[in-house]
Structures are given as C-alpha cells and as structure tokens.
Structure 1
Amino acid sequence: MTQQLIAPVPVVARVQRVAHFTDTYLPRRDGVVTSLRTLCDALTADGCETVTVAPRHRSQNPCPELLTLGSVPCGVADLRLGGWPRRVHLERFAAWRPDLIHVHTPGPMGLLGTIAARRLGLPLVHSYHTDLYAYADAYRIPARAIELGLSWYANRIGVEPPNPDPARSRRHAAIDGLNRLLLDDAAAVVVPTPAVLARGGLPVPDERIFLVPAGVAPRTPSGEDIAEFRRRHGVHDGLVVLFVGRVNREKGVDLLLEAFATITRTLPAAQLVLIGAVYERRWLAGLLQSTGVADRVVVTGQLPPEEVAAAYALADVFAFPSRTDTQGLVLQEAALAGVPSVLADAQLHRTGALGSATRLAEPTPEAYGRALAELLTDPEAARRLGLAARERALLHTPTRYAAAMRDVYDRAAG
C-alpha cells in the first residue's frame, strides 16, 4: 500500500537543509541524475537548502552545492564508486549541519548517507529508483560478488548480515539483504511508481512507503536548434523513431532493433535515432549487423539536455522498450513535446505517470514493431495520443514534486 498524498504532521519547523547522497552524477546522465537535479532546483526555489554528495569526476564543475569524494570506475555502465565511508567523510559532511539525509542510490555513497544518518542522529529518507534485481540479472552479476558486498555493508554499519531466504535465488537473496541493511533505518522510503513494489517488493512496512512521481520541466527548442540537430547527426525529414536512454541490454535495445527491422520492410525510409551512452559497443555493433538496420540507425551517444529536446521535437514516435525501469522520466520528456510513446512493460503502462496515454505492445519484435508502425502511418492517432500524454505529463511539475517531497521530509522528521 503506498501513499501519494502525505498529510503534514506537527513539527517544530519545516526541514530546511537536506543532504542528498547519490552514486551517479554528472557528467553521467540517467534518470536518477535528472530527478535529483530537478528536485534540488525546485527545493532551492521553495526555500529549502540542499547539498549533493557524489563521486568525484574530473569533468565536474565545482559548486558550493556539490560535495564530491574520491572515486574509481567500477567497470559497469560508467558508474564510479566513491571511497568506502571514513571518519573524514562524515566530518566534512557534518560541518554542513543538515536537518535530514536523502539517499538516492544503494552504492557506497548511499551507504555513507545511511551511516551518517545513524551517527549524526538525523532522519533518513531513501528513494528507491532502481530495480536492483533486474539490473543484477541483466549484467549477470555473480551472486558471490553481491554477497561479499552485503558482508562489507553489514560490517560498515556495524550489524550482522541478514539471513538469506532459502526460497530465493542466491543473487536475489543477497539483494534482499542489501535492501534490508539500507532501508531499515529509513523513516520514509519513496518510490516513483507502484511498479517497484509489484516487481520485487521492499522490506519496509507499508506506512513508511510513499509514492512520489518525479516531475519534469518542459524544454522548447528553437527551429534553428532542430535544424542543427538534423544536420549534425544526419537525421532526414522523414519518419523518425526516437529512443533516449542508455543504449544497453537492460533497456531493451535488442528488442527495439529487431522490431525496427520489421518496420523497414514496409517503411524503408524510416529512421531510428538512439540517444544515450553506449557502454557495450561490440554488443551494439553485433545487433546492428544481425538485424540489418545499421544504415537506418543514428547513434549519437550521450547528449546535453538542449540537444535531446531538439530530438524530441523532430520525432514522430518515442520507443520505450525497457522492462527494468521504475518510472522512465524520458517518457514524460517525450510527452511534454507531444510525442506518443510505445511501451513494452505492462506494469509501467498500468501504473506509470502517463498511464493509458501511451501505447502498450507485447515484448516481441513483431508486436512491438507493429505498434510503432501503426503510429508512424496514422499521424492523427499519433497526434491524439501525444496530446493526451502531454496533459498527463503537465500534472507532474518540478514544483509539485518538491512540495510532495517536503511533505515526506516533514513526516520523516516529525
């Protein structure tokens, strides 16, 4: 049972200083980074101070609202691991004098936030953005590696590792243990959609779980921006299917490429544009070759938000083939541009922010390709669906997102 509306509770004063802990941050771009930066900007506008604690990267620009710690690449999707929590980290952080800690990820930075809340006696809020079970399966992370991490986490927190459930696989049982260690102390656990709970559940009482969809701010590119995007990336004036996200296996890119191959049989001039970081280039090159669509696919790599906005503006249909996402902020970005989306995840279609204002297709190349083609060849149906999606997306503004989170903070502090 989740709560979308949180009744304010009596507190001496509203939470005014929030420290956010995240294992993923700029220059990497993903849904966690987008929602975190949107939230911090909106909180600041509402008079709530924020600081973000994140792994250090040489490309980051220093700013007073960002506290970075030494980090090393972990070898998975360009993630960086911050150093294991040490006393000096806690001292640096405590000097900022936060009222509350908000943890956004389950890595070493998330562990540091959890430990800091314990040792400083601060209320703790966790956002559960990522389907850890699906990602561990997609990347085939050995169960032994997760079990070792579980032991390290327990040692750092100063508790015994939870006993595994014998009915679960070793990999999933170890993730269960990690979730228990990180979430046990949380006064509130925030989920962006009910899909999180439907897939794996969380070891948290219902009264501590809150449903708060993230908000997205619209971007309006100019005609010059759109023309420049076409010129720079070789995108023609014909039909365009757009994908935005990590161009990787857990995002359903293999399904999308196989589905697009079925589209080119009847719509040979259609183009597919893939925007996002590519971490497994050999895997992607093999897919492009095996599906025979390499000459119809544009791979741009990771792009800044203003260029992505130009891509939404020229797209006819947005493809979202992932079945591992807990929200999919790119769906809201596409909707704000009036672009209709095709999903392959029935749970996210049923409970996501856009709901029925998206098209759902079975996760097979033929069915998914057919759903995309139907919208490509029926501009009026695509326009109606895009407008309906935009109306839904406009309900989830950054201001409302921040207001809902401040209610959660006050509840946690109270």
Structure 2
Amino acid sequence: MHFTDTYLPRRDGVVTSLRTLRAAQAAAGHDVHCVVPAHGDQEDEPGLLRLPALACGVADLRLARWALCARGTREQLVADLAGYRPDVVHVHTPGPAGLLGVLLAARLGVPLVQTYHTDLHAYADAYRVPGWALRLLLRLYAGRLGVPAALAGGRAAVLSEGNRLLLGEARAVVVPTRAVLDRVALPVSPARMALIPTGVGERPASRAEAGAFRTGHGIGPKDPVVLFVGRVNREKGVDLLVPAFARVLAASPKARLVLVGAVYERRWLARLLRAAGPGVADRVVLTGQQPPHVVAAAYAAADVFAFPSRTDTQALVLQEAALAGLPAVLADPSLHRYGTLDGNALLADPDPVSFGDAVLKLLTDRRAARRLGAAARACAAGHTPQRYAEAMHAVYAAAQALDECPQVAPTPRRWNPATPVGTTRAATGG
C-alpha cells in the first residue's frame, strides 16, 4: 500500500516515480493500492483510494484533511485501510497522507518503507514557510502519532524533527540519488538506507510529432530550442534560467526557450521576464502542464535541455531528456556528480553568464552536443522500470525479514540488489 500527498492530475517527479513502480508491481502480479488526496479531476484507477482533501494554496497541492477530523472519524479511516491487510506500507511524501501511512504501519505492525524524494529544507525556504506554521504542523503530527516532539528551534530544526518522527520507525529509507545526502542529514542509520534511482521508460516521438510541436507553438524549423520541463517555479531555478537565456539570445537571436510545466506564480514569472530585458519574453514559449506524449514531442523538438534547479534529489526529467538523446546543462554539482547520468552533462556555475555560456556551447558545437547526448542516453537506458521495481522488492523483502520495527536505529544486514548509500558505484556495478 503506497501513500502519497501528490498525485494526478498534478504531475511531478514523485507522481512519475510512484506510477512507474505501481505499474511494474501490478504487472508482476502484486496487489497494489495507492492512498492519495482526492481531486475533482482525478480519473478512476484500479487500487486508487482517495482521501477527502483541501487545496493548500501552494503549487496546486491538495492536503488530506483526515488529521483534522474527530477522533472517531480518524480511527474509522485507519480501520478501513487496515482491512486491506497490506504486507508493506510504502510512504513517498511527508504530508498528511504520508503521516497516515506511518500511523497505519505502526498500528498493524507491518514493515514501513519510506522514499525521501523531496528536499524539504529547500522547498520550505523557496516558499518562505514560516517557522510557526511548521511548529504547529509538527505538534499536530506528534499528537496523531502519540509521540513527543522537540518544538524548539528555527525552520531547519523543526524540519529535522519532522523527519525524525516520520522516518524514525521505518525499516528502510530509500534515497533516489546520493545528492540527497549532500543537502540534508537524515536521522536514519546508514544500514537502513538504500540508494535506488527510479527507472524511466523510453517514450519515443517521431520527427513528424516533433515538427508538429514546433509548428503548434510558432517555432521555426531551424530555430534553436532550449527546453525546460518541470514546474515553472522559483524552486526549480527558473530565476536563473531566464536571465541565462537572455545571454543566449544575444548571441543566437533566433533561439527559443520552451518552458513545459505548470505555472503557479504568473506575476513572479512576468516580472522575471521583464527584468531579463526587451525581446526576451517574445522568444519564450509557455506550454503549461502537458501529458506525457506532448512532453515526449517537446524533447524530440529541442536542441538542449536546461536544468537550472539546485533543489532536486533525482530529476527524472534529466533521464527522460537523455533517453531522447538530448544533451543537458545542469547547475547542481551534487546532481551532476551523483545523478543517474554519471556526469554526462555540462555543469555550469549557478549564475546567468556561466549557465548561458554552457547552453550556447551545446547550441553551437553540434558534434559535441550529439556525443554528450549519446553518452547520457546510454546511462539513462540502464535505469529501467523493471530494475527499479526489482530493487524495491528486494528492500521490501529485507524489511519484512526483520523481526520487528526498530525503536532505535539498529544495524540490520544490508540488502541487494538495492545499493546501500555507503557503497560505491564501482563496487555494485550500478
């Protein structure tokens, strides 16, 4: 039974990772259920269990409101979910739905597995979440779990305490890349942690589909295209990308910047485009959030993939772009070093001059761009959905083999084929 606070119709890396895993598990014959916040535009899916939810006003997120209900209602919800008799509870996010998964695993005494997808500290900073709000949330979480919590300290301390509450009882904590550990110290013994990148399936697009994408967005057949895929928000580094593109435009006036993804702060983006200088906004294409087949056409239509984010823990879009043979420019040294492309991308400093020059290098040296794209594709091709599911099942099996959930971090045996975070790539062949 999976628990997530983000799901369709919202699209993000957590949703992609979870749906990839669910599909592989279902194909292998497992009985899979997924507990999600309800949304009016959600389509029916086998095994989808919806929780009544409220919009929180941030990036189209909806938060399950079970934790605010009366005690009797909460207990009935837990009893209803317990009726499905899950063998493993897998929590993917730290919101109310994730909290419910932690509570259910504790009540049933079944293994709890967590995936730490999101850099909470970076997101709290980007959205300027006040410390008092985080402390209030922490108090609520501790109350629902029936455990004490340390409420003193600033934003970072409160987030770390929240991680302790949610991750402390997990028999296994999965991180998608080692970049996670460069950003935050997780309160988990290394013996309980496993490194498992999400596998991404290839979605090929034909030349005709790529041409139709260009035509549909007013892009000429020979216009150089710089592509970004993701939420068009401040935490994704768009405030670096736009001025960097202004530098690209000065040297390549026909270039276009295509931003594929939901826009939640339109006034902020409009100010950013105005500040970049005259003519920049006219060369920027905003497509909004798109279904996978349109995103695949965008990859096929582009020349360079720009990924300016310094908050991502894995960036599945990098793998998607690589599978399309698209060379990428990054601004995050940890993701460049430890990510699934094994360094097969250009690394730029997080400033507009450096990032813009790196993009220009790939636009002008097409032979180098093709070589880099081919190397990235070869790396991404090794991370398949099937391998991802097999590695996760190895973690589930190891978690089930433990006699009981640890109260204090123990030192259980390590597991394979999932890679313990202390193990090098060379040692595992991964």
Specify the alignment match of 2:99 in structure 1: 111
Counterparts of 1:130 and 1:308, CA distance in 2: 22
Deviation of the 1:236 alpha carbon: 2.1
TM norm structure 1? 0.93
Gaps of 5+ in 2: 68-73, 402-430
1:87 aligns with 2:75: yes
Aligned partner (choices 55, 77, 89) of residue 73 of structure 1: 55
Percentage of pairs with the same residue: 60
Alignment length (residue pairs) = 392
How far apart are residue 364 of structure 1 and its match?
0.6
TM-score by length of 2: 0.90
Deviation at 1:234, TM superposition (A): 1.9
Aligned to 1:260: 245
Q: Is residue 310 of structure 1 aligned with residue 310 of structure 2? A: no
Which letter maps to 1:25? Y
* In 1, Cα distance between equivalents of 2:289 and 2:149: 38
> Do the aligned partners of 2:307 and 2:331 also contact (CA within 8 Å) in 1?
yes
Q: Is the 8 A contact 2:207 2:300 kept in 1?
A: no
Superposed displacement of residue 260, structure 1: 0.3
Q: Deviations over 1:48-103 (max 9, x none)?
A: 22111000001111223100011010011110000124122212212222101000
Which whole-Å CA distance do the structure 2 matches of 1:190 and 1:222 have between them?
A: 36
Look up the SS of the partner of 1:306 in the other structure: helix
RMSD: 1.0
Q: What is the alpha-carbon distance in structure 1 between the residues aligned to residue 7 and residue 171 of structure 2? A: 25
Q: What displacement does 1:163 show?
A: 5.8
Which residues of 2 match residues 222-233 of structure 1 at below 5 A? 222-233=206-217
* Alignment check: 8 A CA contact 1:247 1:278 kept: yes
Give 3-state SS (helix, strand or coil) of 1:68's partner. Answer: strand
Distance 1:233 1:254 in 2: 23
Residue 225 (structure 1) shift: 2.2
Give the whole-Å Cα distance in 2 for the aligned partners of 1:50 and 1:224.
Answer: 37
- The CA deviation at 1:403 is 0.2
Q: Tell whether the 8 Å contact from 1:162 to 1:180 is kept in structure 2 after alignment.
A: no
Secondary structure in 2 matching 1:286 = helix
Question: Which aligned runs of 4 or more in structure 1 are off by greater than 3 angstroms?
Answer: none
Q: Kindly report which structure 2 residues correspond to 1:343-358, keeping only aligned pairs within 5 A, or say none.
A: 343-358=330-345
Pairing 1:249–2:234 present: yes
Is the 8 Å Cα contact of residues 50 and 65 (structure 1) preserved in structure 2? yes
**Maintained 8 Å contact 2:330/2:348:** yes
Deviation digits for residues 167-221 of structure 1 (CA, Å, limit 9, x no counterpart)? xxx0000001100000011000000011111111100011001100000000012
Q: Which residue of 1 aligns with 2:262?
A: 277
Whether the 8 Å contact between 2:114 and 2:167 is mirrored in structure 1 is yes
Equivalent residue in structure 1 for 2:119, among 131, 135, 146: 131
Residue-by-residue CA offset, 1:208-242 (whole Å, 9 max, x unaligned)? 01100000000012333223222222222210000
Aligned to 1:221: 205
Name the counterpart of 1:41. Answer: 23
Instruction: Tell me, in whole angstroms, the C-alpha distance in 1 between the residues paired with 2:156 and 2:302.
Output: 38
Give, in whole Å, the separation in 2 of the partners of 1:48 and 1:259: 47
Indicate which of 81, 106, 110 corresponds to 1:122.
110
Structure 2 Cα separation of the partners of residues 179 and 316 of structure 1 = 40
SS at match of 2:259: strand
Ranges in structure 1 where 5+ consecutive residues have no aligned partner: 1-18
Q: Structure 2 CA distance, aligned partners of 1:162 and 1:180?
A: 10
